[in-house]
Chains A and B, each alone.
Chain A
Amino acid sequence: MDGSPLARLVIVLIFLGLLGLPVIALTREKPSAPVAAPSPEAASAREQKVDLVVTLSHPGRVEIRQANQVVAVSDALVSVLEKEITLPDTRAELTVTFHWADGVSPHAGRVVVSQDGETWADQTFWGDAEAQDVLSVQGPKQP
């Protein structure tokens, strides 16, 4: 091969550099697409206002929690508790706690969650002085 050694070295380096480009492109860590955190607007769009109706067999106290936050509570002994509550989504879990102090046994408490007249969840819980369980709200029935 004719020409100066320096020119040959430059040509070889350029050649090697060109060969290396695809390797660099293949092995370079691609920046992962940023995952957008759900915006407050999107979160509130999923929120659902629903009607909660709790009926007790005997007057007692009721507390309803969602994700460990109180969403409905009776201040005194009640037979019926009605309240509009907000769920984070169409599906949610409500922790229901009843307290009775009248010595009667067994007691029952019924919890109904509905929206625009359509029932999303309806369950009766039984207990003596206390009853605690989870009501699973599944949202509107699929057609």
Chain B
Amino acid sequence: MKLAIIAGLLASIVGAQAQEKLPVVSLGTVLTDLAQSVGGDHVAITSLVKAGQDPHDFEPTPGDVKAVSHAKVVLASGLGMESYLDKLRQAAGNGPTFLVVGEKVKSIPAPEEAEEGHEGHDHAGHDHDGGLDPHWWHSIANTKIAVRAIRDAFIAADPADKAVFEQNAKRELAKLDELAKWVRVEIAKLPANKRVLVTSHDALGYFARDYDFEIRPVQGISTNDQPSSKKVRDIISAIKQEKVKAIFFENMENPKVLTEILQETGAKVGGVLYADGLGQKEGNTYDSMIRHNVTTIVEALQ
């Protein structure tokens, strides 16, 4: 009788351990979505940066540091997106494994404007790591690299669930291939001379590289800084010369400059693009974010 009770207790302990989820902390909304797809029910993800939150403004709290120290895997975008990363790593100690996805992807140089305009490679609150653009997820090819890296990190931390992570990652990669095909077909509707993106925040460099767009960032509209009158004149001149039909925004914190540019050029507001991460309602998954951005761009520039 005693033996049976002990055996039962042991079995329940082993069962509980088998069902224990892999604790993961994510420092980016795109990473959270990808990690959930790869990990499924076998991971418990704490997303420190919430959907709709500006990752440039995020600073971890002592409570966040505690969550990180209890995690097995910490997912970071890298390339300078998380200016606090080194300190967080030190504070977390030897417990979690940090996967810095930006170190794995094919990166591109940071926008020149940011390099010239901000000392110390600081751009809208984050440090560009060696002058590289941290918004790697706007390339689906990079996102596929991220999925594979997350899969491998999960398997290393939880080998027992290897088959699940592999299967989930395979499914996610197939979905990304479908998404990439859809983007190709949509973008092909735009002739080469219409592929000019005037944006309020130069975060779409990877997208521009993949689909042959030219980016004209309007620095200052999305920030509280007033762009110089010369800068505004240059932007107006460029928009007129290139007959740009629409301007895209991340948000509109400087309507005075926006109104001036729209009045002078006759361009229209193309729409709001998700540049720094996922949205709260529309664009709340990686797939829907990309589809929203591409649809907005194609409809406005066609």
Contact = CB atoms under 8 A, between A and B. Distances in A.
A93 interface: yes
A133 B184 contact: yes
Contacts of B185: 95, 132-134
B241 to A, nearest CB: 5
Contact of B184 (A65, A91, A134): A134
A134 B188 contact: yes
B140 to A, nearest CB: 14
B189 interface: yes
Nearest to A36: B241
B63 interface: no
A88 B193 CA distance: 10
B192 A68 contact: no
B192 A89 contact: yes
A67 B237 contact: no
Interface string B179-198: 00100110111111000000
A142 interface: no
Interface residues of A, number: 15
Contacts of A133: 181, 184-185
A16 to B, nearest CB: 27
B174 to A, nearest CB: 14
B302 interface: yes
Contacts of B192: 88-89, 91-92
Contacts of A95: 185, 188-189
Interface residues of B, number: 12
Given A32-B237, A35-B241, A67 B189 contact: yes
A9 B254 CA distance: 48
Given A32-B237, A68-B302, A88 B191 contact: yes
Contacts of A94: 188
A68 B191 CA distance: 8
A140 B148 CA distance: 36
Interface in B152-175: none
Nearest to A88: B191
Contacts of A32: 237
Q: Pick from B181, B188, B237 the residue with the most CB of A within 10 Å.
A: B188
A92 B188 CA distance: 9
A95 B192 CA distance: 14
Interface in A64-103: 65, 67-68, 88-89, 91-95
A93 B28 CA distance: 34
24 contacts: A65-B188, A65-B189, A67-B188, A67-B189, A67-B190, A68-B190, A68-B302, A88-B191, A91-B192, A92-B192, A93-B184, A93-B187, A93-B188, A94-B188, A95-B188, A95-B189, A132-B181, A133-B181, A133-B184, A134-B181, A134-B184, A134-B185, A134-B187, A134-B188
